[in-house]
Structure formats: C-alpha cells, structure tokens
Structure 1
Amino acid sequence: MLQSYLDALIQEGVLTVRIGANRTYRFGRPRLDRPDLDIAIRIDSLWTAFKIGAQPYLHFGEAYTDGKLTVEKGTLWGLIELIGINLPNAPKRGRFARWLHGFRNWLPVHSPDTSRRNVAHHYDLSERLYRLFLDEDMQYSCAYFRCPQASLEDAQIAKKDHIADKLFLTPGQSVLDIGCGWGGMALHLARQAGVNVTGVTLSTEQLAVAEQRALEPSVNARVRFELCDYRLVSGLFDRIVSVGMFEHVGLAGFDGYFQTVADRLKPDGVALIHTIGRRGKTSGRSAWLDKYIFPGGYIPSLSEITDSVEKSGLFITDIESLRLHYAETLRHWRMRFEANRAEIEALYDERFGRMWEFYLCFCELGFRYGDLMVFQIQLAKKIDTLPITRDYMMPQASARVAEPVQPDVMPAAARTG
C-alpha cells in the first residue's frame, strides 16, 4: 500500500525509502532546479511501513515522533516540502468531510469541561517552551507580513494593528477578547486605543502570564483576565475579538459560538473573528494533530462559518483571506524552534522535540502547499455601524489615537459573571 501510494504521489523530486535492512525503493525523478529535493528516509520495519500506507495522515507523524521513521538524507522539512510540492497527486479526501457536515446537528458539542481539558493539553505546557520560538509578545497565531522581509516581531505588531483597525475602536469602549492567550492582543488594544478589555481563557498557564502582564501601570485599570468559558460570560460589549480560538470550538459548536457573539454584542457592536480556515470539501480534522497536538480541533470552511453566522442574525461586513501569512509565520517559528532545540528537549525529551518539529513542519505544509489559510471575518449587529468603504482598515488608520489615554475604571458592563 505504501509503495502504491508513493508511486502516485512523488512525481517531482526523488524520495528513497529504505525499509529495515534489505528493502530499498526509489520514487519520482530529479528536479535540476531543486537538487535539495532528493530525500532519503529509513522506516524501521515492514509493520511500520504497512501502517503508514494504510493510514498516512496518522501513522506518518507517529512513526517520526516515535523514531521509527528517520530522515537519512536531507531534513524533515525537506521531506515535508517534497510531499507538499507533490500534494496535487495525493488521493482526494472529501467524502468524510461532506458526510460530517451533513450530520453536524447530531454531533456532541464540547462541554466546558471537555474544552478545558483540550486547552490544557496544549496551552498549559511550559511558558518557557513558547518563549523559545514565539515573538516577544507571545503571539501564538498568524502574523501579518506587510512585506516579505518583515521580522516576526514586526509582523505580529502589524497583525494586532490590522485587527485594531477592523474593530474601529473608540477610547472608552468595552472589548471582550475570547481566547485571550497570554494577553498580548488585549494589552495592545488597551494601550493603542484606550479601550477596556476583558480577556477570557481556559488555560491556567496563560492566565497567570496575562495577569502578571496586566499589572503594568499603563494598562492596569483597563485590562482584566479571567479563567472562564466564553459561553459563561455575561454583560454586553461594544466590541468582541477572537484570535485563534474558533478552531477549538468543534463543528457542532459553530451555531452556539456565533449566537454567543451576537448575544454579547451591544446593538451597535462589532466583532472580528480571526481563524484558521480551509478551502473546499477536504476534511476539517487531522488524525495526527487531533491525537497529539490539538484534541477536539476542527478547521472550518468558509461555507460552514457563514452558515452559522447567518443563523445568528449577524451581518458579515468584511471577509479577508490571509493566504501565505501563516506559512511565513510557521517558517519563523520552525527556525526558532530548531535554533533552541536543545533547550526545548531539556525541558521535555527528544520525543517531544520530534513531535513538535513534525507539528510545525506539517502545519507549514498545509498553509504553503495545501488548502489552509486564515480568515478574518468582521461582523456587526447593524448594517450601518461601520463605514461603507475599507479605508479605515488601511495601515495608516492605526495612528488614529495619537495621544496616550489616561487609565480609568473599567465600566461594570464590561465585567463578567
């Protein structure tokens, strides 16, 4: 099965596969313009090769994580890129995704306890781990590269500015940050626009870091963080922002998520949802990522999102597709991860290092060569809340608030129950 799969897949570049001690297979043809696309791997046994051939989307990553598949010539990224370049030749996966969408109303919605466990699996890892490959502000989501040469730090600042522009903020407004991470977005909005932000997360590790950062005098009175499921938040807000959280809701929870956003917005409220998305009918789940990295995750298609938004009664006022921005973000993360690999493996172990190397490479594959992208979806309760042209979203718009805003007390309406 593996031989048949690779015969069909590898058309450009060369992949040499050694199984055990005595079996060697060669696939593809050399590319003179890409001599680096000559990769050799070793699989420890026929049994491992059989499993990869039977279910490559799970067992390929498992074999690498467990050291049963090793790269003997080239690098893991070289192997992943070779696969990515040949991805159009891969057997199509679409039937299951269409079936799953058809039965979404019968799927279980993640309970608050399940959501908390899923979040803890990934986000309650060591803060030190994330500091070793993220930017200084610990932005763990797609950056916004205004030019290809931008640093990761500059691109993450540009992302926050871009989102702030789309929220069309006014000093003193109340903002709910759903899935606030380590607090960087909330702190940025408070500093730059003088708004009052309530950030909610289910990660105890992220909460501890965010609360410590909120002690800074310039934002102390304007930002608060809580360990709280977004479905349990009370009160009304002028603005809602959610960056990199919707991917954890699960298909069955889409309707409830957007209904909650609608319920928490004031009549003239605006929301900005920043989420990974996918093109077309491919599956919204990855067996390996679901098992090892993001349990319960689901990557939505745009049609799945808009279907649920329409049920909520919200207006979709703008959609932007960020196509290769996450591929570049992941490239920066991958390079920083490798530069600090020894320290990361000292925090955990070699197996963890291989697992996270595969995670970063596999995700970059999806954004650079596959069907993944990032959607920024702007929503409003009224059709006339926002300007009718997109000029206010342009880069210069982030300079609207020129004078620093003095701290004041957060209004009671912005507090959660």
Structure 2
Amino acid sequence: MFPLSHMLKSFVRVGSLKVIDADNKVHVFGGTAPGPDVTMRLTDRSLYHKLFFNPELNAGEAYMDGRMSFESGSTLKDFLTLFSMNRIALGTYPLQKVLRSISRGLKRFQQANKVGKAQANVAHHYDLGNDFYKLFLDKGMQYSCAYFTSENDTLEEAQQNKLRLIASKLQLKPGLKILDIGSGWGDLALYLAAMEDVDVTGVTLSKEQYALSNEKARKAGLSHRVRFELLDYRKLDKKFDRIVSVGMFEHVGVHHYGEFFAKINALMSDDGLMLLHSIGHMSPPGTASPWLRKYIFPGAYSPALSEVFPVVEQNSLWVTDLEFLRLHYAETLRHWHERFEANRAKVAEMYDERFCRMWEFYLISAEMMFRTGSQLVFHMQLSRKRDAAPIVRDYITDLQREYKKLEQKKLSTLKPAEPVPA
C-alpha cells in the first residue's frame, strides 16, 4: 500500500486507523494519544497514490464513489473526526508541506470572484432547489451559523437567537435604510422589518433565493418595506444607514477584500453601522479544501483575521465590536446533518446516492472543522466614525432582551399568508 502507508505512519498521532487494502490485507496505524478507532476499507489500488498526493480531494471522491467505506462499527463521522484531530500532523508531512505551499501560491486563481463568475459560483450551490434545502434547514431556511444560548435550544430557537443578536448589533431605529448583502432566503431582512419600522433591501445572486424571498415578503405583508434584488452588491450606488452581511464574505475571495470594504465604505452613511457575520479561522492564512472548492463552494475561502484587519484599516473603517462564535456552527451543522439523514431517502429520490454521499461528507467534515479544527465564526461591527455605536457593549444584551419581548407580539401580527397564485 506504499506510498500511502508511509504517510499514514506519520499522520495518525491521535487514535488509530485500520486500513483494509484492495487485496484484503490489514494495515494498522496507531497514535500515542487516545482518540477514535476507525476501520476503513479501500477497494481501488489507485487510491494508494491518489490519497498520498491529495488526501482531502481524493478521500471525498472515494467516499462518494463507494471506493472507500467503513467497517466494524466505524462511520464516516468517526473517520472525519480522526482526520480533523490529526490534520496538523498531516500538514507537517514533507510532501504535503510542499503541495500546500504551491496551493497558497495559486490562491488568487482559486478565489477569482469577478462580477459574473461570482453568480455562477453561487448558482452551483444555492440553486440546487428550495425543496432540497427545506429538508434540513430550519423553518425560516437560514443557511448560516445559529446562536445557541442553551444546549437544549432547537435549531429554530437557535436561529431566532441569531437574528436577535444581529438585530441588536445594528441598533435599529425607525426610518433607517438597511442593506442585506447576500440575503439568503430573506428571514433576516423580514425579522429586521418586523422588529422596527425600517426599509430593507436584500441582494442575492441566487435565483432560487430571490424568488422565494420576495414571495415571503409578500406573504408577510412587508413587501412595501422589504424588497430583494437579483444583483451583485458591487453594482449598488445608494447610501444605507445600516449594512449587514451574513455568510456571504466567505465567497468574496482574499484578493477582492479591498474591493469589498471599499464598497462598504462608499455605501455606508457617515454615522452608519455594518455587521459582518463570516466564517474565519484561528490559524495562519491558508487555502480552502480542494474537495470543498470542487464540489460544494467553488471560489470560497474562510479567512484568517490577519487577512481581514489590514484591508479594513486600509479602507478607513473602525472596528467598533468583535465577537467570536466558536462552537455554535459545530452545533448548527450537527442539527443539519441529523435532519439530512432523516430525509436521506427523499434526497436520493431528488438526486442520487452519490449526491447523498457528497453532502454527508460535506456536512460532517464541516462540523469537525468547527468542533476539533481551526474554524470559527466572527461578528465584526464596522463604522466610519468611532462613536457610531455606544462605547460599552451593554446595549447588545439589553436590545436582545427587548427584541425577545417584542417577537411574540410583532411576529404574530404580521399579515397572514395568502395563497400563492398557480
């Protein structure tokens, strides 16, 4: 099983990995620290070289195609937990160090998200169909990190907590003009408009999200104050009092950060605020997983904060607040995966078995990166003036409590849904 066996001896330092090769021979690789015990079967000899040269890409493809499977009670989640816990050791293997250095040099091309191409990248993932996403997201279809104030929170409760947290950081006031960049299926914009008499414009590059968001605004009786446009944010030329972006910054690309923050500065009123909700990581700058780029999020990358702060500074923006949500996305992804598995048969009917395996690999590997890897979510509040937000953070907690009291009253009095025309 050479050369893969040579790398695995160096790789597995936590837990143990038993590999049954294509000739039914057993190879055991054990670490010195306790961890998951995984039994994996490889049925394709070509994987010995493929996994050696590009383990992240080829492990995902091998699982999707059924050439890699798990036995003796082991699961894909066990394997991806083991992989995540040993990821640093893999990065120190000489060949992997060289290949990762080359990949970092190609980052500009991997994350080229020019106008036009950005929409194609978004369509690859977000236009799979609303019916698909309804199978595992919360009722509001929020496809971003939830906020768990208790381990007993349901997914719906945690997503509502997230909306409340973001709204509190935006300091809503009657008459404000708000921009939601990457507005998803519209729940955040609708929540803001329900909590306060504000005017919200949401922009998205997904045709599926655009259609459903406007339908939801109409059903809620808020279409006079909430509208969604199928538009790249770079084409906007209006001023806004508040700007929010949730789960979109990961699709911007490092070499477009200057363009992004310059546009935020240009769109924001002098006393405005912006809340950026994004995935990041606590390790030095790197590159996105090649498997994730190829199959799930083309052009995507979660930045190190050292890649964000310099560009914010260069664009004369104040960071007025910064908060880290560390394990919240791991819990969100756990809920998504459980719901996905509960509806797996329906997904297979919509697509096929290979698609199901692809999404299993994505959801579990993403959870592990937030649970045992270097991924996190950050909230960065930005302004053009140092005093645009209060100088102490008490208002964030105070407003969350206020909005929680208002929710039952205001959300229950929205216009009832009307039948959708055939």
Aligned residue for 1:46? 45
Using a 3 Å threshold, how does the CA distance of structure 1 residues 100 and 391 change in structure 2: closer, same or farther?
farther
TM-aligned CA deviation for residue 80 of structure 1: 1.0
State which drifts further: 16-25 or 352-361. 16-25
Query: Please, which of 387, 392, 398 is the counterpart of residue 389 of structure 1?
Result: 392
Contact 2:247–2:278, Cα closer than 8 Å, also in 1: yes
Three-state SS of the structure 2 residue aligned to 1:215 is helix
Q: Is it true that 1:271 corresponds to 2:274 in the alignment?
A: yes
Q: Is it true that 1:340 corresponds to 2:343 in the alignment?
A: yes
Aligned residue for 1:226? 229
> How many residues in Structure 1 have an aligned counterpart in Structure 2?
404
- Opposite residue 201 of structure 1, the aligned amino acid is T
Distance 2:56 2:169 in 1: 37
Contact 1:52–1:60, Cα closer than 8 Å, also in 2: yes
Q: 1:69-148 alignment to 2 at 5 Å? A: 69-73=68-72, 74-92=74-92, 109-148=112-151
State which drifts further: 21-30 or 46-55. 21-30
Three-state SS of the structure 2 residue aligned to 1:299 is coil
Three-state SS of the structure 2 residue aligned to 1:90 is helix
Aligned residue for 1:414? none
Distance 1:129 1:164 in 2: 28
Distance 2:406 2:175 in 1: 12
Deviations 1:334-359 (A, max 9, x none): 11111111111110000000001000
Aligned residue for 2:420? none
Using a 3 Å threshold, how does the CA distance of structure 1 residues 166 and 101 change in structure 2: closer, same or farther?
farther
Query: Please, which of 6, 24, 40 is the counterpart of residue 8 of structure 2?
Result: 6
Q: 1:258-297 alignment to 2 at 5 Å? A: 258-297=261-300
Contact 1:122–1:293, Cα closer than 8 Å, also in 2: yes
Three-state SS of the structure 2 residue aligned to 1:273 is strand
Aligned residue for 1:63? 62
TM-aligned CA deviation for residue 109 of structure 1: 4.8
TM-aligned CA deviation for residue 382 of structure 1: 0.7
TM-aligned CA deviation for residue 97 of structure 1: 7.6
Query: Please, which of 246, 249, 256 is the counterpart of residue 246 of structure 1?
Result: 249
Contact 1:94–1:282, Cα closer than 8 Å, also in 2: no
Three-state SS of the structure 1 residue aligned to 2:219 is coil
Distance 2:109 2:120 in 1: 22
- Opposite residue 333 of structure 2, the aligned amino acid is L
TM-aligned CA deviation for residue 400 of structure 1: 7.9
State which drifts further: 261-270 or 95-104. 95-104
Contact 1:143–1:325, Cα closer than 8 Å, also in 2: yes
TM-score normalized with structure 1 length: 0.91
- Opposite residue 9 of structure 2, the aligned amino acid is D
Using a 3 Å threshold, how does the CA distance of structure 1 residues 217 and 12 change in structure 2: closer, same or farther?
closer
Using a 3 Å threshold, how does the CA distance of structure 1 residues 174 and 96 change in structure 2: closer, same or farther?
farther
Distance 1:201 1:300 in 2: 21
Distance 2:50 2:323 in 1: 39
Aligned residue for 1:25? 27
Contact 2:43–2:68, Cα closer than 8 Å, also in 1: yes
Deviations 1:341-385 (A, max 9, x none): 111111000000000100011111111111110011000111111
TM-aligned CA deviation for residue 121 of structure 1: 0.3
Aligned residue for 1:152? 155
TM-aligned CA deviation for residue 189 of structure 1: 0.7
- The runs of 5 or more residues in structure 2 that have no matched partner are 415-422
Q: 1:343-382 alignment to 2 at 5 Å? A: 343-382=346-385
Three-state SS of the structure 2 residue aligned to 1:320 is strand
Aligned residue for 1:163? 166
Distance 1:212 1:338 in 2: 29
TM-score normalized with structure 2 length: 0.90
- The runs of 5 or more residues in structure 1 that have no matched partner are 408-417
Aligned residue for 2:214? 211
Using a 3 Å threshold, how does the CA distance of structure 1 residues 240 and 96 change in structure 2: closer, same or farther?
farther
Distance 1:209 1:354 in 2: 27
Using a 3 Å threshold, how does the CA distance of structure 1 residues 99 and 190 change in structure 2: closer, same or farther?
farther
Contact 1:87–1:369, Cα closer than 8 Å, also in 2: no
Three-state SS of the structure 1 residue aligned to 2:91 is coil
- Opposite residue 165 of structure 1, the aligned amino acid is S
Contact 1:245–1:275, Cα closer than 8 Å, also in 2: yes
Distance 1:253 1:100 in 2: 18
